[in-house]
Amino acid sequence: MENIVKGRAREESLLRLLNHPNILALIGVHEHEETKEEAHKRGSSDTNVRSCLVMERCSGSLGDLLKKLGRGLLEWEASYLVDQILEATAYMHNENVIHRYTKQKYYVYIFLYQLNIAL
The pLDDT tens digits for 101-115 are: 676 667 777 666 676
Can you give the residue range of the structural domain that contains 34? 2-117
pLDDT at 51: 78
Residues 6+ apart with CB under 8 A from 33: 47, 48, 49, 50
- For the chain, how many structural domains are there in total? 1
Q: Could you give the residue ranges of the DSSP H alpha helices within the chain?
A: 2-17, 36-41, 62-69, 75-94
Confidence of residue 116 (pLDDT cuts 50, 70, 90): low
Which CATH number belongs to the domain containing residue 47 in this structure? 1.10.510.10
pLDDT at 91: 93
Residues 6+ apart with CB under 8 A from 34: 47, 48, 49, 50
Q: Which residues pair with 117 in a beta bridge?
A: 23, 107
Instruction: Write out pLDDT tens, residues 17-75.
Output: 888 998 888 888 888 787 778 777 877 777 777 778 888 888 888 888 888 888 888 89
Using CA atoms, how far apart are residues 113 and 115, in angstroms rounded to an integer?
A: 6
pTM for the full predicted model: 0.71
How far from 57 is each of 44, 74, 110, CA to CA, in Å? 35, 26, 7
Half-sphere exposure of 111 (CA within 13 A, CB side): 5
